[in-house]
Amino acid sequence: MHILSRFSQFLNRFLMITGGTVLVAMVLLTCSNIFLRLVWIPVRGTFEMMGFFGAVVTAFALGRTQQVRGHIAVDILVKAAPVGLRKILCGISDVIVCLFFMVLGWQVGQKALVLMRSGEVTETLRIVYYPFTAAVALGCLAMALVMVVDLLSICNGRGKG
């Protein structure tokens, strides 16, 4: 359990730092595009890159945000429940979320393989799609890993509740 938790912490910190770096690239690209649009010609393919970068930033932030409990939660009914029932409800919720992100990561990963085999590229910059799709799959699987760690900590009596 401890090794899995440490791996999850490391992976999600790495993804968050990578996502932050991509976010800085988004800001620089946006500023460059605005400036160049005013004085000369805008940066070609900005729209494509912003879409790819936005997907990566969002996917890479999922797991770390869950680790620090940064996602919104509507838990007015759960907080009113006794501690034992609250842990059961949190466990059920964690299982559902974990399964959802496992399936999502798997399906997006399958889509990345299809895109890789087909060699599909973007219209303007001719950039291949699959690395960005695979990055989104990785972010979803990292989120599933966080939910597995949360579920195991609930089962060990140290989790939410």
Average confidence (pLDDT) over 92-121: 95
pLDDT at position 26, please?
96
3-class SS of residue 90: helix
* pTM, two decimal places: 0.87
How far is it between the farthest Cα atoms of the chain? 64
**Phi, psi torsion values for 24, nearest 5 degrees:** -60, -40
Q: Domain boundaries in the chain? A: 2-155
Question: Has residue 70 got a pLDDT over 60?
Answer: yes
pLDDT at position 90, please?
83
Please give the residue that has the higher pLDDT: either 26 or 161.
26
Q: Which residues pair with 128 in a beta bridge?
A: 121
Instruction: Output the six-digit token pair for 33.
Output: 């595009």
Give kind and range of the element (H or E) at residue 5: helix 2-39
Question: Has residue 1 got a pLDDT over 80?
Answer: no
Average confidence (pLDDT) over 107-126: 94
The pLDDT mean for the chain works out to 91
Q: From CA 152, how far away is CA 87, in angstroms rounded?
A: 12
Question: Has residue 161 got a pLDDT over 80?
Answer: no
Instruction: Output the six-digit token pair for 16.
Output: 């968050």
pLDDT at position 8, please?
93
Under 8 Å between Cβ of 61 and 19:
yes
